[in-house]
Amino acid sequence: MEPMEVQLDAASDLFEGVAIPHIELPDEQLRAVVEAVIYVTDEPLTADQIATALQQPAARIGRVLEELTAEYNKSEHGLTIREVAGGYKMSTKPEHHEAVRAFVKNLKPPLKLSLAALETLALIAYKQPITAPEVMEVRGVQGAGVLKTLIDRKLIATAGRKAVLGKPILYKTTKEFLVQFGLKDLSELPTLKEFEELGRLSTMDEMPDEEPSFEAPAVTGSAAEVASERTEPPIIE
């Protein structure tokens, strides 16, 4: 956790449930501080978190966030501030992704999810909560190693047990999943084909192929049907 994150968390804990004496800051200075806070933190920050940590009225922070969002939406900025997973996060604009990827490729080899892990993650995202046997039934191969890797990467988490014989563990995607793929919530899930492309181009740490490539072909057939059957976004408690 970065130092600024520690300070924000500590401030949130310290002032929780307490009437906070607001600190007078000029509008220009407050905008600069909020901009810096969003820049230095890896996790999306909510308006309430920022307001508590900076000892400012939530309504004022909300206005500042709206102003910053509008400012960064201008074409002269390569970055954007957008709402992701319930908070605000700074990232590069989609229209500049190709140029950024080309630049990154010149620095180091491209990193990506293995196809086996990507297909499993896609199934969980679209059919959650889902059990390991149900994942294996669709994919037709064993996937315990892939599930463990996705859990280690904090892209999925357990979601209780299914009320059937044996009570298998249910799995769902996490907030980290939303952050990694730049989604505000699950209603923004792309099609399965777009999901596969996002995974191939992501810059997450490289994950080894837990299964031979011939066991994880291009996402078609039954896996594609899973996405086509989804009419409503899954619900995460």
- From first to last of its 237 residues, the chain has per-residue pLDDT tens of 444 444 445 444 434 444 445 678 888 999 999 999 999 888 899 999 999 999 999 999 999 999 999 999 999 999 999 888 889 999 888 898 888 888 877 765 544 678 888 889 989 999 999 999 999 888 877 778 889 989 988 899 999 999 999 899 999 999 989 988 888 888 888 766 666 666 665 544 444 444 433 333 334 344 444 444 444 444 444
Residue where a domain stops, chosen among 63, 96, 129: 96
Asked if residues 208 and 185 have their Cβ atoms less than 8 Å apart, the reply is no
32 and 78, same domain (yes or no): yes
- 234 inside domain: no
126 within domain boundaries: yes
**Reported pTM:** 0.47
Q: Does a structural domain hold residue 179?
A: yes
**How many structural domains is the chain composed of?**
2
Q: Is residue 7 part of a domain?
A: yes
Provide the b/e sequence for 62-79 (b: ≥16 CB within 10 Å): eebbeebeeebeeeeeee
In angstroms, the CA 186 to CA 197 distance is: 17
Pair type for strands 169-173 and 156-161: antiparallel
